[in-house]
Chain A
Amino acid sequence: MNFLNKIIFFYYREYKLNMSGAQDILTNIIFFFVSIFIFIFSIGPDKQTISIIGVGILWTLLLLSSTLSLRKFYQDDFENGNLIIMHLNGLSFGFIAILKTFSHFIFVQIPFLLSIPIACILLNIANDKLFYLFASFGIGSLILSCLGSISSSMNLMNQRNFLLGSVIIMIFSVPIIIFSVGIINMEESFNSLINILFGILLIVFAINPWASGLCLKLSLENN
């Protein structure tokens, strides 16, 4: 029961922190929409073209926008010693990584998920594709959070080059983009593609705790 309470109050703490820094979440969303506008202006007013490449644009921007928030994934808790305090309170580094991944999903990715319908209107994406978009983004964004956790924890050991973590995320995101965009453009293969995406999620979800946990431990050891 105590352990469950610790998890609940971990999220209470994350909620409080994210609400006090709500402008960061808002900035991400604004970046996302401003980028959509820039794409639309650069492509021109042809609805047909925007509609064809719309899903690709949406996924690329979701990836870039969620990458923006990675710098703060572990950095603050690492610098102010809260990672050690959480660990001393009985949470292993691997488990902290799982909790932080879900926190990133809830407080960073879900606002994007909620803004997808508006983005679909701007990009002339048909309403009937909305379900596929939600399904693929629901799974894809959790994969991005797991990859974000790994790259951010690696970045703690390499404080000089934040971009390296983002590059790693981008490279590993390629299969997610392929299958996620595929789901929307090839609706008849929905089941098989969503299963593949789900499989990727399970793989990164399994790797995340020990990879991030180890990086957190090493970075604290070398700090």
Chain B
Amino acid sequence: MLIVKDLSVERINKKIFENINLSLTPGNITILKGKNGSGKTTLLKTMLNIIEPSAGSIFWKGKLLKRNFYDFYNHTTYIADTTSSLKKLTVKDNVNIWRKFFISNINDAQIEMALKTLKLDNYLNKKVATLSFGETKKLEFLRLIIENKKVWILDEPLSNLDEDSIELMKQTFEDHSSKEGSIIFSSHQNPGIYVTEEIEL
């Protein structure tokens, strides 16, 4: 369980946000709402121990995250607002690299099914550079299945997605939540997804 207590971040003497409190418990879906530049990505990166907070603390399983972050990483998948898939390579290559790099225990049939659900099965041998932004974004979500971890930290996961894909994400979120997983995601719009906690930045 992740607990964020009185977290503040300052950059070049400018307050990005202050006194943020939240907790990620099993089954929890938290949304970070705010306009562009309100500090949503900064908060997510601070929770990942990438950015140093100016005040406050983050705890993972009762210990300070700073001293326990590799254990936290073992349970966490992070999807950034940029696409991490390698554009020079094909969809198949990217999937294979992720599966090997994350030492995934997901089998071929499950991957095939996920690709079909995401409507990416026809693009397997196409280079990622030729996919549209929405398709690249969906490919990114495949990492959630490949990594198969409990905590999902997602930065603007719903931007540039069509209605069908948003609906699919809703179901995926609910499914993950029902399996005791926890999700925190940022959004500058109202996605219409059932959430257990809402934080306005």
**What secondary structure prevails in chain A residues at the interface with B?**
helix
Interface string of B30-55 (1 = CB under 8 A from A): 00000000000000010010111000
Given the known A-B contacts A16-B89, A17-B88, A90-B70, are A5 and B103 also in contact in the complex, defined by CB atoms under 8 Å? yes
- Binary interface profile of B, 84-103, with partner A (CB < 8 Å = 1, else 0)? 11111100010001001111
Q: Is B171 part of the contact surface with A, judged by Cβ < 8 Å?
A: no
Q: Which residues of B contact A21 (CB under 8 A)?
A: 88
A217 neighbours in B (Cβ, 8 Å): 50
Q: Mark A208-223, 1 if CB is under 8 A from B, else 0.
A: 0000000001001110
From 100 to 132 in chain A, residues with beta carbon under 8 angstroms from any chain B beta carbon are: none
B167 to A: closest C-beta gap in Å:
26
Minimum distance in angstroms from A181 CB to a CB of chain B: 37
Question: Which positions in A face B, CB cutoff 8 Å?
Answer: 2, 5-6, 9-10, 12-13, 16-17, 20-21, 79-82, 84-85, 87-90, 217, 220-222
- Other-chain residue from A20, A84, A222 in contact with B89 (beta carbon distance below 8 A): A20
- List chain B positions with a Cβ less than 8 A from chain A: 11, 45, 48, 50-52, 70, 73-74, 76-78, 80, 82-89, 93, 97, 100-103
CB closest chain-B residue, reference A220: B50
Complex formed: what's the CA distance from A190 to B70 in Å? 46
CB pair A88 B101 closer than 8 Å: no
Contact B101 A9 (CB under 8 A): yes
User: What are the residues of chain A within 8 A of B50 when measuring CB–CB?
Assistant: 84, 87, 217, 220-221
